Amino acid sequence: MDLDFWWLLVVPVAFALGWMASRYDLKALLSESANLPRSYFRGLNFLLNEQPDQAIDAFIEVVKLDPETIELHFALGNLFRRRGETDRAIRIHQNLLSRADLPVSERDHALFELGQDFLKAGLLDRAEEALGRLDAGEYARDAQRALLTIYEIEKEWGKAIDAASRLEKMGAEPLPKEIAQFHCELAQEALHRKDAVESAAQLELALSANPANVRATILAGDVAAARGDQAAAIEAWRRVEVQNPSYLPLVAEKLMKAYAALSRPQEGAALLTGYVEHYGSSDLLDVAYPHVAQLCGADAAHTLARTQMRASPNLSGMTRLLDAQIEAADEPRRGELELMRTLIKQRTKNLPRYTCQNCGFRARLFYWQCPGCSGWETYAPRRIEPIAAAQA
């Protein structure tokens, strides 16, 4: 009974203490709210009602009445940047940085926001200068990410590699795929300069960063072909099958040229025929068909196209099958088949071939970096048929 009596006393005491604390918090909140200008609440109301123009006008009035409202300056600068008024956002953040009494943390915040303003405005050199000053502190990692974006835009691949490495040291998620692609870009530039030694060195670094990088393997074949070593080029390009066979269409024509240079075109045609039969790729069929028709005869090409159509019906395979049937048809039948082939080609010639798996950007050319979202290796190296595109 004594225990129950004490519990009866504890409950009302706890309730009374909670009521007094809530009253104190409410008084403090009302006291703070009384010190805020009415324009502040009008601005918040406009934001809640998705009226950014009126919100900006209200917040500007608050800033004029109370210049010490640092957080409001940041909010106003972000609103300007979202609207594309980067010049006004830049002025706000520059004004904050000019204040001698600004705390270090707020100064870093203002410097980061200023860098974002310059980046949005396309002033990449000024954005790089602002963000480069944030090598430590709360905003250092985000600043490095922004710098990495700048270096990719400027195609400063060496700096991009350094920025990605610094991000990893700061505890960010490793970027082996991106670093390997940066080395591939440097290798591509060296190859254009006919510097095979530098290109090969960069490709080694790319594969060291990401052994699964198919582009480095393809470029290694390009370097060997540029040196005139067709056998080494073939060896490199055939390794693509081991890494990722879906990329074989990117090296199919290269392989045929290398085999032709070695006076072994029949071997190349047999290799591509095996690829088509094993992987059922319409892209591979497009490359293999004319070579098979030329080297092995129309019947062999017809058989290859027919087998592919039965395994995986698509418009590209249908075009090749019609090509084979036209060769074997008599004159009246040939005209009908040619009309069918023309209609299919007209239907498919302007369709985008590749689709980014990240943002959906479509393009007729294959890209290692998507022009839409700047993602690396987001394009699957296969064409999208009209039916598949419609379903997607």
Binding residues for Fe cation: 356, 359, 370, 373
First to last CA, the chain: 72
- What number of H helices and E strands is found in the chain? 20, 2
Other CB atoms within 10 A of residue 241 CB = 17
Closest CA to 76 of 85, 66, 89, 67: 89
Tell me the Cα Rg of the chain: 32
Q: Which helix (H) or strand (E) holds 21?
A: helix 2-34
In one-letter notation, the amino acid at residue 63 is V
Chain centre distance of CA 44? 35
Q: Known binding site: residues?
A: 356, 359, 370, 373
Could you tell me which residues come within 8 angstroms of residue 52 by beta carbon, excluding any fewer than 6 positions away?
Answer: 46, 79, 82, 83
Contact 145, 168 (CB under 8 A): no
Backbone angles phi, psi at 354, to 5 degrees: -120, 145
